[in-house]
Amino acid sequence: MKTTKLLNSNLQIFYQNNRGLHNETDELLLSWDSNSPQIICFSEHHLRKDQIHHLFINEYKLVANYCRSFHKHGGVCIFIQVSLSCSTIDLSEFCHECIIEACAMKLDSYSLNLCVLVIHRSPSGDFIQFLHSLDNILNRIYDNHTNIIICGDFNINYLETNNIRLQLDSLLASYNLFSTVDFPTRTTNHSSTATDIFLNNNTNTDFSNQPCPNDLSDHDVLLLTHNNIQLHIPTKQYTTSRLINEHTLLEFQSKLSYMSWDFVFNSEDVDTIFNEFLKTYLRIFIHSFPCKQFATKHNTKPWISRGIIISSQHKRDLFVLCRVTKDTKLMKHYKKYTKILSDVVKSAKYKYYNQLLLNANNKSKTALNIIKSVTNNKTANHDISTIDTDGKICTDYQNLANAFTKYLTSLPDTTSVINPATTSISQANVSPLDYLK
């Protein structure tokens, strides 16, 4: 039996334009402490539709995404913690590659009416068409009772005032949406801009917005914390099971051996004898093997050691220091340190999975489970819910079964039957061994 303890936690939303999410999820896990964000948003993940669903982030699930079909790169996606429930909002009809790419989800909560959107605008796209599509998206999701949070890369510098920004602000203000970012979000050797922003339509909320630089992208992470919005998240999950070990087994055997079973056979009725035996046996079993609660660990990346976590934090500190000082010697040291840490992570993975295979009784099954965990390949459900029969869509399960029965029973009528009388004599004289030559 499993039980879960809940804790109230402030809502945290993680956003980053990471310019490619290939092989970067491990680094993300290393960059978070015990207070992981409940919602993770990415833009420019650079993944295709057949790749995004195999992306695995520990303790998170993919709930909304958009992937390009005809052009490279781009794309947006949203992950939430597995303990939360939400509904996906389909915005595919408003999305246009290299102009506006968006996805959205709404948390399923009676006390919290929250909608989160991720939007990416390509700098080379038609800005007027972008505004028109954005207007349609906001018109779809907006109402007076919904708290809307938008994060994304609009490729408009919010540290400057120009005509393009004024047009965007005018549209957003009509939906009571305002930016909460007033600091640089992308810093290079030649410029500092704020193209990544958070938008909120509830200005009365108590929130904090801070940048968190990492070396996964030249775009900084934006972490939005809503202090007025609290979610019930599980702290620890406990499993109740009986304590069975060498000591309790010896105690159980001893009690059974000292038990007198004469009273069980006092009756001549078989049911009474069995019930007396079972009652005595269960009483000894429950007393010998007491129930105990065990904390369940959900660490799907056990190869991440404390040393790797500390080294990863030191690597991020070096990245920030290099960006500030622009020292060439420090940059060389940072690149060398990054390569060494990458080799250490690969070695840790190799040793962990190799040890699993060495200790496994069924190595083939263990290897398959490792592949599934790494590729996030889950068992797909291929249930048939509809079928086209004679030009009509059938959804009733009884009619579906009848349609399959009718089809299968008609197969013998269409198959050709070989008449032995018409077969040639030469075929009849052929030895079966000739077919093996």
User: Closest Cα partner for 112 from 187, 25, 205, 196?
Assistant: 205
For residues 282-296, average pLDDT = 83
In a domain, 59, yes or no: yes
For residues 27-40, average pLDDT = 75
pLDDT score for 214: 82
Based on the fold, state whether residues 223 and 250 are members of the same structural domain. no
**Residue-wise pLDDT tens digits, 339-358:** 998 899 889 989 999 998 99
In a domain, 147, yes or no: yes
Which helix (H) or strand (E) is 149 found in, with range?
Answer: strand 147-153
Using a pLDDT cut of 70, give the percent of the chain over it.
84
pLDDT score for 235: 57
CB atoms within 10 A of CB 308: 17
Q: Which burial class, exposed, middle or buried, applies to 365 when counting CB atoms under 10 A from its CB (0-12, 13-18, 19+)? A: exposed
Based on the fold, state whether residues 228 and 333 are members of the same structural domain. no
Q: Which whole-number Å values give the CA distances from 168 to 15, 156, 157, 201, in the listed order?
A: 20, 9, 11, 15
Q: Highest-confidence range of 111-115, 229-233, 348-352, 397-401, by mean pLDDT? A: 348-352
**Residue-wise pLDDT tens digits, 263-288:** 777 888 888 888 888 888 998 998 88
**Residue-wise pLDDT tens digits, 55-90:** 888 788 999 999 998 988 899 999 998 888 899 999
pLDDT score for 79: 94
In a domain, 196, yes or no: yes
In a domain, 49, yes or no: yes
pLDDT-derived band of residue 437, with 50, 70 and 90 as boundaries? very low
Does pLDDT of 111 surpass 60?
A: yes
Distance CA 43, CA 13 (A): 14
Domain that holds residue 329: 306-375
Cα atoms found within 13 Å of the Cα of residue 44, Cβ hemisphere only? 20
For residues 190-212, average pLDDT = 83
Domain count for the chain: 3
Please state the length of the chain. Answer: 437
pLDDT score for 428: 52
Q: What is the CATH number of the domain that holds 105?
A: 3.60.10.10
pLDDT score for 414: 46
Which residues have C-beta within 8 Å of that of residue 166, sequence separation ≥ 6? none
Distance CA 198, CA 209 (A): 8
- pTM for the full model? 0.68
Distance CA 205, CA 224 (A): 12
Q: Highest-confidence range of 114-123, 180-189, 400-409, by mean pLDDT? A: 114-123
In a domain, 420, yes or no: no
pLDDT score for 379: 57
